[in-house]
Amino acid sequence: MLTRDVEMTGSLPKELLLSKHIHFLRKYADNSNENYEQLMVEYLRMSGIYWTTTALQLMDSDFDKAGRADILAMIKTCVHPNGGISAAKGHDPHLLYTFSAIQIMVSYDALNDQIIDIDKTAQYIRSLHKSDGSFMGDSWGEVDIRFSFAGIGSLALLGRLDTIDLDKTIDYVMLCYNTIDGGFGSRPGSESHAGLIYCSLASLSIAGQLDRIDADLLGWWLAERQLPSGGLNGRPEKLPDLCYSWWVLASLTIIGRLHWIDKHKLLRFILATQDEETGGFGDRPGNMVDPFHTLFGLTGLSLLSHQYSCDPNESIPADHNTDDGFDYANQWKSISEKIKQINPVFCMTQSVINRTNIKLQYLSL
Ligand code: GRG
């Protein structure tokens, strides 16, 4: 069978272009020019701000000050009387954008800045929780495992996780578990997909119930997502996409099997997706860049450089071409110094999660 993949040919970037990425993202974050409004499509603007601000926080220690007041003021315009939060002013509230807004507020340490009424927002989230333990995305009633994670993650960050029946919520997540490959799909009986596996494992980690899965079987399936180019896909027979450097690697990190991936090959793929002129990362080498892929390229590098337990010198497999222009040992050291540590469950900097009282579970081999 022919493997679907991309060719890693031509002159592809080999160094992390940190200052270019900061410049690229600041164009979005500089609210004084109303750039979020011009550049980020309205229906996902709140998540766009979360991707951009999280990526900037990972690279830039001065970021906290820049744009804080404007961004918090923008969130306030999206808060509805029922406590729910929308993607942009004038839109309906939705659980995914409520989660993004809470993540932004927590990272700015602004939960108690009177932007939201925490109890009302927790009540909105509970209103989307169904009697079978699943979560709807909004009042229209669609159910998806992404919404389970958004519900659990939001309530955990608000300090209100004890207001739902967590065991029942996790029982629903486990209904989406596929015993054949150890993965999870969007709903019971759906195909396993790396993005939905991340949502499920993050939920199980928050609930302390990771012992309910077969971590070896799932780790094997996740490691098989790596293609000859070094990039990762989200399910069999699909092309690699940089965003799986988050969904797959965060999942492997949570279950303690990140080292089942060839980190050096993946480094080459991740760096190749950068745009040397504009900064930013795209889904595949040579493609258009955007804040979504930029965040997940950086978070992938963060996980690999901070959490991969092998000594970089010893872990370069013999079949790697050492004349390929990569100085792996120094690359990893310099990346871990340039990009802060990301938390694999919340996709927020580890230093922000350390400020909360949230207890997370991780597996080890
Ligand atoms: C806090 C990081 C964070 C997330 C919040 C929204 C969400 C919770 C999780 C989304 C998980 C998910 C479904 C990710 C996959 C995104 C993606 C690239 C979807 C594309 O799907 P297909 O079927 O792609 O078009 P493939 O790669 O399978 O062809």
Q: Is the CB of 247 under 6 A from ligand 1?
A: yes
| Average pLDDT over the chain, rounded to an integer | 92
Write down the pTM of the prediction: 0.95
Rg of the Cα trace of the chain? 20
Chain Cα centroid distance, residue 50: 10
The first and second tokens of residue 93, run together, are: 């509230």
Mean pLDDT, residues 58-86: 89
Which residue bears the tokens 């750039």? 35
For the stretch 14-51, pLDDT in tens is 899 999 999 999 887 765 455 555 556 777 899 999 99
For residue 185, the number of C-alpha atoms closer than 13 Å in the C-beta half-sphere is 12
Chain Cα centroid distance, residue 296: 6
- Closest ligand 1 atom to 238 CA: 29
- Closest ligand 1 atom to 250 CA: 2
Q: Whose CA is nearest to atom 29 of ligand 1?
A: 238
Q: Whose CA is nearest to atom 24 of ligand 1?
A: 234
d(CA 293, CA 291): 6
Distance (angstroms) between ligand 1 centre and the Cα of 125 equals 21
Distance (angstroms) between ligand 1 centre and the Cα of 280 equals 19
| Domain 18-27+41-309+325-355, second-level architecture | Alpha/alpha barrel (1.50)
Per-residue pLDDT for 360 more than 60? Answer: yes
Q: What pLDDT does residue 38 have?
A: 54
Q: Is the CB of 196 under 6 A from ligand 1?
A: yes
What are the residues whose beta carbons fall under 8 Å from the beta carbon of 77, sequence distance 6 or more?
Answer: 89
- Closest ligand 1 atom to 103 CA: 1
Per-residue pLDDT for 321 more than 70? Answer: no
Per-residue pLDDT for 100 more than 70? Answer: yes
CB 240 within 8 A of CB 227: yes
Strands 289-290 and 281-282: antiparallel
At residue 349, what are phi and psi to the nearest 5 degrees? -60, 145
The first and second tokens of residue 162, run together, are: 């004890």
